[in-house]
Structure 1
């Protein structure tokens, strides 16, 4: 096969070529925990971002300089990524990139094997102009609404699962039944069964104290006490047997010493009697 067959046909004059999308200079990933919304803002004017420069992760900044709709807003710096995609790491007091040896439990690293450690490149926690995305969290809301961020509400798909958190959500006491307040989720009907009874799906409540749980706890304590009594009895029997064996060994050793002593005395007497008299 010649080289002409292996090469793809070239397009003359750039006909049909899509223009390359130019990425924005910087972006702000802003989240509002009160509504559960999150929105990405493209920032063309770099001068607006100077209020975040030389600030650390966790610092709270007034966002009035971002625009008129941001008047009165206070945001907290949650993190970010630089132009090459390396994430910011809390506690690294620099605005450049460093290589750190990380293990399980460190941020910006997920181990693939048990006990694995790896040296990864991360960015410091100080903001400067080399960031491509900066993550912000709204701490205090201003006077105006921001479309797509504060005007809507994204409901949580799942409710709390732990019993103590359900009590905290509905302000319940310890005497109230938590099972009546579980947040259920409506399941869509199956095909061809639109008129069937509505089905709900609820999470299994964790750390719920029921009579069965108390019974199991009492059973475990009873087994523990039984094992403790059995161990004490076994230790007493073993100590008694050990003392008896030591006593028997001592008696046998004394008899052996007595027998050897009597045998040596007989040998000495016989040797004295058999010796020739002068």
Structure 2
């Protein structure tokens, strides 16, 4: 099994191949993230403490933290999961990964030196690998050199020498410092704040104008509603007056009809009374006429008799 050992203090890494299973047995059944002493690997490793960072099995499948098994499993992985890099947005894929428990089927085991021992390991702890790139952010540069806000960060940038060309001077390349506060940055900030203030003021003015228009419209609506109600009241009152007039006219017509009927009745009564009086007078005059006729008849008969004699 290969042991890929890294020493963060110097930035160095080195691979050691261990064929003896007795030396490797100490790593078996340990999980990723566990810290182990390295005394069993030999006297040169005495006092060293390793932390298991990961590993690969003989077919190249990586170990995954959190999978509590020493065999291979197939997991549905997505963006953010270890052992998988999505090629498309939102893509998920079922991948074969090995559990986080170490066993004899691994071909490589990644270890980190947490604590240095008594002796130096050649090629690992005795050599320092210089960093190719320095810090790029202004706050990180200040932290590295323990600078204050008044110090100029641009003088402390880690520059990288470029390879020399024929007949030309040696050149260096420096990274662009991010989050560096300059007068232009402050001017942009002031400009943004001024734009924000103007936007707030314009919004307030527009809101005030809108409220004015809204109050005016509400007032107009109120006046319109009042005028409509008053016109409706007037129309109702006029309709009521017309109805009252019509009722009065109808009542007058009805009174006239009643008066006519009563007058006709009175006329009938008067005529009937007159007829009755005439009838009574006739009935009284008829016997007198009969007596007169009888007397006249007697006279005519006596006269006739006298003529005959």
TM-score (norm 2): 0.75
Cα deviations by residue, 1:36-95 (Å, 9 ceiling, x for unpaired): 222222221122111112222122111111123222221111111122222112222332
SS in 1 for 2:15: strand
Equivalent position of 1:71 in the other structure: 46
Cα deviations by residue, 1:144-194 (Å, 9 ceiling, x for unpaired): 33233223222221111111211222222222211101011111233xxx2
Equivalent position of 1:58 in the other structure: 33
Q: 1:216-227 to 2 correspondence within 5 Å? A: 216-227=188-199
Return the match for 1:208 from 175, 180, 183.
180
Return the match for 1:146 from 121, 145, 148.
121
Return the match for 2:151 from 163, 168, 176.
176
Structure possessing the higher radius of gyration over alpha carbons: 2
Aligned counterparts of 1:247 and 1:95: Cα–Cα separation in 2: 81
Pair 1:109-2:84 in alignment: yes
Aligned counterparts of 2:74 and 2:194: Cα–Cα separation in 1: 54
Moved beyond 6 Å, runs of 4+: none
Return the match for 2:231 from 237, 259, 269.
259
1:206 Cα deviation (Å)? 0.9
Aligned counterparts of 1:119 and 1:254: Cα–Cα separation in 2: 74
Equivalent position of 2:219 in the other structure: 247
Gaps of 5+ in 2: 255-309
Aligned counterparts of 1:40 and 1:234: Cα–Cα separation in 2: 71
Equivalent position of 2:141 in the other structure: 166
Return the match for 1:230 from 202, 209, 222.
202
Equivalent position of 1:6 in the other structure: none
1:242 Cα deviation (Å)? 0.8
Aligned counterparts of 1:265 and 1:121: Cα–Cα separation in 2: 92
Equivalent position of 1:46 in the other structure: 21
Aligned counterparts of 1:123 and 1:56: Cα–Cα separation in 2: 12
Q: 1:82-121 to 2 correspondence within 5 Å? A: 82-121=57-96
Count of residues in correspondence between the two structures: 250
SS in 2 for 1:122: strand
Q: Which has the higher contact order (CA 8 A, sep 6+)?
A: 1
TM-score (norm 1): 0.83
SS in 2 for 1:189: coil
